[in-house]
């Protein structure tokens, strides 16, 4: 009954729109469908990202040939062109590798059945209460024949998947606690045990979706139109305005605000970029001159590690996850924050003893062929991606800045590079940026638009997305390193 009235409302409303105003922008095709009494969902929000104004993002249809091919690939693989793709296309080189990897993980040969893969994706995304990814994968999960009962909570899934819950929790929040005992528990659980290959597949999936959740929040990805929260059936025009007028209107208002806010601090933020570049130049030049002692270097790492725990935004209010999402994982209270509050010690992991290139890659490729190669490529592209620009400056060598960001994230996970001076991080990354990084990597669900706007104010959106790519890849590598080290230790 209610449905019927809603449909009627939509019907009359649209009639009103098309007949009274005859808006040309909307196109004519819509009228027909609505006459059939079909309810037309309407997207909420504007564009694929809540943080980035729609007009900054590439419009479908205006892409170049390479991007078009990417879109086509993405569409063919997923059956949709999701908002993540639309935002990532800022960096087509990375997007290509990302899509290839994701496609392989979810759909190509692998030890895990398809519905398991999507369910693991749901588990991982749910750890960060990422409703966007959960919704997408709930659909996919059902589509490949998954049992809808499992979606009522992890306790309804097979024991085998339940066993994975603990690893999921640790990986997402405290990967350094993973030991070979955890691995052993998974591999030796009689009829519910995992094989090594399955476990590696699962670990790769978990880390992939943990970091993808970071990206989703970090770039403020809007819900897809067909998912919860992505659309509304409410009549679009209450005041007899055409929908496009309203959105356009809203847009301009929003942009004005942004601009005005930007204008206030324009000199300020311009100065920021200059200062950053100056620091980079200084570091480059005087690197050789003052040589810090070994103890100094070691303590710099410890300081950075410790400080990283306390870098948090002031608004610490508890976000209680929506029931809908939280049912996919147990122990909702378990998070990164706990340990930082209690000042727990993160042991140091030396990358020179166990690194991705030498050790992690070989292990993954051995147990889950080809994936090591794909992930390796993805890391490589993310780490080396540069356009040699910084805000308005061109021909800048940004490798130092990128390395600082990468190493800062690894530092938060206790991963230390012997050959890096952690003093550089303090010089290059200011506090608001650190807050953003820390939040995205550890508690992505708490990212706000304010945080996104407040760091690197003069930088372009594409550069902020670039930062996000660095963040998620560094995070994925950190998690993988811990998990793979535990597996290696189990094997030896």
Partner 1 sequence: TDKKRSTSDKGRERDGLFPVRRFRPSRAALLNGSGTRGGRGSISSSGSIDERSSDCLDLTAEGIAMEKMSRVTTALSSSALTGHTMHCHLDAPANAISVCRDAAQVVVAGRSIFKIYAIEEEQFVEKLNLRVGRKPSLNLSCADVVWHQMDENLLATAATNGVVVTWNLGRPSRNKQDQLFTEHKRTVNKVCFHPSEAHVLLSGSQDGFMKCFDLRRKDSVSTFSGEALGGGLGRWSSETPVHPMFCHPVLKLGHSFVQGLTSEKRIQGKARPRSLYQKPPDPVGICSEINGEMSPGQSESVRDVQFSIRDYFTFASTFENGNVQLWDIRRPDRCERMFTAHNGPVFCCDWHPEDRGWLATGGRDKMVKVWDMTTQRAKEVHCVQTIASVARVKWRPECRHHLATCSMMVDHNIYVWDVRRPFVPAAMFEEHRDVTTGIAWRHPHDPSFLLSGSKDSTLCQHLFRDASQPVERANPEGLCYGLFGDLAFAAKESLVAAESGRKPYAGDRRQPIFFKRKLDPAEPFAGLASSALSVFEMEPGSGSMSWFVDTAERYALAGRPLAELCDHNSKVARELGRNQVAQTWTMLRIIYCSPGLVPTTNLNHSVGKGSSCGLPLMNSFNLKDMAQGLGSETRLDRSKGDTRSDTVLLDSSATLITNEDNEETEGSDVPADYLLGDAEGEDDELYLLDPDHAHTEEPEYVLPQEAFPLRHEIVDTPPGPENLQDKADSPHVSGSEADVASLAPMDSSFSLVSVSHALYDSRLPPDFFSALVCDMLRFYAEQGDVQMAVSVLIVLGERVRKDIDEQTQEHWYASYIDLLQRFCLWNVSNQVVKLSTSRAISCLNQASTTLHVNCSHCKRPMSSRGWVCDRCHRCASMCAVCHHVVKGLFVWCQGCSHGGHLQHIMKWLEGSSHCPAGCGHLCEYS
Pick the binder of partner 1 from 7, 144, 246, 273 (CB under 8 A).
Answer: 144
Which residue, 64 or 291, has its beta carbon nearer to partner 1? Answer: 291
User: Which one of the spans 199-207, 211-219, 287-295, 474-482 is the region binding partner 1 (CB under 8 A)?
Assistant: 287-295
Q: Does 72 bind partner 1 (CB under 8 A)?
A: yes
Report d(CA 56, CA 402) in Å as an integer. Answer: 23
Binding flag, residue 119, partner 1 (CB under 8 A) = no
Query: Where does 221-357 show beta strands of DSSP type E?
Result: 231-232, 349-350
Among 369, 384, 392, 449, binds partner 1 (CB under 8 A): 384
Cβ proximity of 216 and 84 under 8 Å: yes
Q: Are strands 42-43 and 231-232 parallel, antiparallel or unpaired?
A: antiparallel
Q: How far apart are CA 335 and CA 23, in angstroms?
A: 50
Kindly tell me which of 338 and 357 has the beta carbon lying closer to partner 1: 357
Q: Should residue 362 be labelled a site residue for partner 1 when binding is judged by CB under 8 A?
A: yes
Report the DSSP beta bridge partners of residue 394.
389
List Cβ<8 Å contacts ≥24 apart for 396-399. Answer: 396/277, 396/280
Report the C-alpha gap between 233 and 370 in whole angstroms. Answer: 45
What single DSSP character describes residue 90?
T
Q: Is 291 in the site for partner 1 (CB under 8 A)?
A: yes
Mark whether 130 is an active-site residue. yes
Q: Which of 26, 130, 219, 442 is catalytic?
A: 130
Identify which of 375, 464, 405 has the alpha carbon closest to the alpha carbon of residue 98.
375
Of 223, 226, 229, the C-alpha closest to 83 is 223
Figure out which of the listed residues 22, 113, 158, 249 binds partner 1, where binding follows CB under 8 A.
Answer: 113
The pair of structure tokens assigned to 116 is: 């398991």
Which range touches partner 1 (CB under 8 A), out of 46-54, 140-148, 171-179, 443-451? 140-148
> Binding of partner 1 at residue 298 (CB under 8 A)?
yes
Question: Among 219, 309, 363, 481, which residue sits at the site for partner 1 (rule: CB under 8 A)?
Answer: 363
Helix, coil or strand: residue 351: coil
Residue 413 tokens, joined: 């996970």
Q: Are residues 159 and 192 in contact, defined by beta-carbon separation less than 8 angstroms?
A: yes
Rounded to 5 degrees, what angle do the CA atoms 292, 296, 297 make? 80
- When asked if residue 142 is in the footprint of partner 1 (CB under 8 A), the reply is no
- Choosing from 294, 314, 320, 333, the residue that interacts with partner 1 (CB under 8 A) is 294
361 near partner 1, judged by CB under 8 A: yes
Give the residue carrying structure tokens 């550890």.
442
Is residue 191 within the footprint of partner 1 (CB under 8 A)? no
Q: Which is nearer to partner 1, 252 or 352 (CB)?
A: 352
Interface residue with partner 1, options 20, 33, 37, 75 (CB under 8 A): 75
Q: Is 111 in the site for partner 1 (CB under 8 A)?
A: yes
Among 188, 287, 431, 449, contact with partner 1 (rule: CB under 8 A): 287
What number of chain residues touch partner 1 (CB under 8 A)?
Answer: 45
Give yes or no for residue 297 binding partner 1 (CB under 8 A): yes
Nearest to 199 by CA among 210, 188, 211: 188
359 touching partner 1, by CB under 8 A? yes
- Please tell me the distance from the alpha carbon of residue 360 to that of residue 478, in angstroms, as a whole number: 11
Rounded least distance, CB 302 to partner 1, Å: 13
- Please tell me whether residue 418 binds partner 1 under the rule CB under 8 A: yes
Give the residue among 10, 490, 471 at the shortest CA–CA distance from 217.
471
Contact residues toward partner 1 (CB under 8 A) are: 72-73, 75-80, 103, 107-109, 111, 113-114, 143-145, 287-288, 291, 294-295, 297-298, 350, 352-353, 357-359, 361-363, 366, 373, 376, 384, 397, 417-419, 488, 491-492
Catalytic residue set:
130
């Amino acid at each position: 009954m209610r449905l019927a009235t809603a449909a009627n409302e939509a019907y009359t409303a649209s009639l009103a729109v098309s007949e009274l105003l005859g808006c040309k922008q909307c196109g004519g095709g819509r009228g027909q469908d609505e006459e059939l009494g079909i309810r037309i969902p309407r997207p909420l929000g504007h564009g694929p990202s809540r943080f980035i104004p729609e007009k900054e993002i590439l419009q479908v249809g205006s892409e170049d040939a390479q991007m078009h091919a990417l879109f086509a690939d993405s569409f063919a693989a997923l059956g949709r062109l999701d908002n993540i793709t639309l935002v990532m296309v800022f960096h087509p080189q990375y997007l290509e590798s990302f899509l290839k990897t994701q496609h392989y993980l979810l759909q190509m040969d692998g030890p895990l059945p398809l519905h398991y893969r999507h369910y693991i994706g749901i588990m991982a995304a749910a750890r960060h209460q990422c409703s966007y990814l959960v919704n997408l994968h709930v659909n996919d999960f059902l589509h490949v024949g998954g049992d809808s009962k499992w979606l009522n909570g992890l306790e309804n899934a097979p024991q085998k998947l339940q066993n994975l819950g603990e690893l999921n929790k640790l990986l997402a929040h405290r990967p350094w606690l993973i030991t070979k005992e955890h691995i052993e528990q998974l591999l030796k659980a009689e009829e519910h045990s995992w094989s090594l290959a399955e476990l590696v597949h699962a670990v790769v999936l978990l880390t992939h979706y943990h970091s993808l959740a970071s990206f989703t929040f970090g770039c403020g990805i809007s819900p897809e139109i067909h998912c919860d929260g992505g659309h509304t059936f409410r009549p679009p025009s209450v005041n007899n305005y055409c929908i496009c007028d309203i959105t356009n209107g809203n847009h301009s208002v929003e942009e004005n605000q942004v601009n005005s806010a930007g204008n206030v601090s324009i000199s300020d933020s311009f100065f920021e970029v200059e200062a950053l570049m100056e620091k980079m130049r200084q570091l480059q030049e005087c690197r050789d001159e003052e040589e810090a002692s070994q103890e100094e270097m070691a303590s710099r790492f410890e300081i950075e590690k410790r400080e990283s725990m306390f870098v948090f935004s002031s608004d610490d209010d508890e976000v209680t996850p929506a029931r809908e999402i939280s049912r996919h994982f147990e122990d909702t209270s378990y998070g990164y924050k706990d340990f930082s509050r209690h000042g727990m010690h993160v042991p140091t992991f030396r990358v020179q003893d166990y690194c991705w290139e030498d050790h992690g890659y070989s292990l993954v490729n051995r147990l889950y062929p080809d994936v090591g190669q794909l992930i390796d490529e993805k890391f490589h592209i993310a780490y080396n991606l540069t356009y040699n620009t910084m805000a308005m400056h061109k021909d800048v060598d940004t490798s130092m800045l990128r390395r600082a960001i990468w190493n800062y994230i690894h530092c938060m996970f206790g991963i230390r590079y012997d050959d890096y001076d952690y003093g550089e991080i303090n010089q290059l990354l200011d506090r608001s940026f650190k807050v953003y990084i820390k939040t995205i990597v550890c508690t992505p669900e708490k990212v706000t638009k304010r945080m996104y706007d407040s760091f690197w104010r003069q930088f372009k959106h594409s550069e902020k997305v670039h930062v996000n790519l660095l963040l998620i890849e560094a995070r994925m590598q950190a998690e993988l390193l811990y998990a793979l080290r535990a597996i290696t230790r189990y094997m030896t």
